[in-house]
Amino acid sequence: MSEQHWILTAHCPSQLGTVDAVTGLLYQQGQYITDLQSFDDRLHQHFFIRAQFRPENEFDEQAFRDAFQVRAEKYGMEWTLSPSDLKYKVVIMVSKFDHCLNDLLYRYRTGQLPIEIPAIISNHPDLKALADWHNIPYYHLPITAETKAQQEADVWKIICDSQADLVVLARYMQVLSEDMCAKLSGRAINIHHSLLPGFKGARPYHQAYEKGVKLVGATAHYVNTDLDEGPIITQGIEPVDHTYYPEDLTAKGRDIECVTLARAVRYHIERRLFLHSKRCIVFADSQ
């Protein structure tokens, strides 16, 4: 019996028989379902499903694809099939704050995130030593208003040359152009504190302290042309009180950013996400 698992995802207009289209074929072909999640969006009349399965005998990927395509065409399904251990190539972009980068690199190094990191890109030189320690190429690409177009062209070349599947903005403190956002649609994740939109600009935690906030958190979302307002993937939140000074709020917020971003990256590489209109359908797990 093979221990290789596969992930099948699909979505289509809502209609009778969509679950059976997936589970029926898996049963017929002797594939053991180890995880199954589905959702029917009744407001938009659209159906989503994710199935993880383990072949009980030798698995012929092309034969399975051919058989499922017949069913998919009947229901107008868009679908993907991939081995669960597929390692995504992830390019990380960062400025000076290193907490999210450090966390991602730790999870990469220990295998918690089964990814490859072909490049780290920054508009500052500060974190090169950290990249060097992990033997990851580090590209220092400074940016000004005058050089923004060329800098983004250089960034895009690195992304293309590395054949990146995903770009993670691990506290990259620059606004991407609309053109770059369009190029990265559906495959770039950003993280920011959840004090937005109430506390914009510099020193948000100092602003929050002055207002006596009782909750701090973080939001991970897909990048789009609406600044910090892309489809939300994950959010984290923790209670705070009057004993938290600005530096305490900042430390708490950074911890939450690390966990929230890592979860969003994991959900993406585990094919748990569906972009749907301006929303993100998330088949979360218990981890």
Q: Is 126 a catalytic residue?
A: no
Give the up-direction half-sphere exposure of residue 159: CA atoms within 13 A in the CB hemisphere: 20
Distances (CA, A) of 162 to 138, 165, 233, 279: 13, 9, 25, 29
CB 167 within 8 A of CB 155: no
Half-sphere exposure of 16 (CA within 13 A, CB side): 0
- DSSP characters over 220-274: EEE--SSTT-SPEEEEEEEE--TT--HHHHHHHHHHHHHHHHHHHHHHHHTT-EE
- Signed CA dihedral, 240, 245, 248, 250: sign only: positive
Cα Rg of the chain (Å, integer): 21
Out of 35, 126, 165, 228, the active site residue is 228
Report the C-alpha gap between 96 and 122 in whole angstroms.
8
Structure token digits, residue 19: 């679950």
Give the whole-angstrom CA distance, residue 186 versus residue 221.
Answer: 10
Question: Position 258: which residue type?
Answer: C
88-94 and 78-83 beta bridge pairing: unpaired
Parallel, antiparallel, or unpaired for β 138-140 and 115-122?
parallel
Active site residues: 228
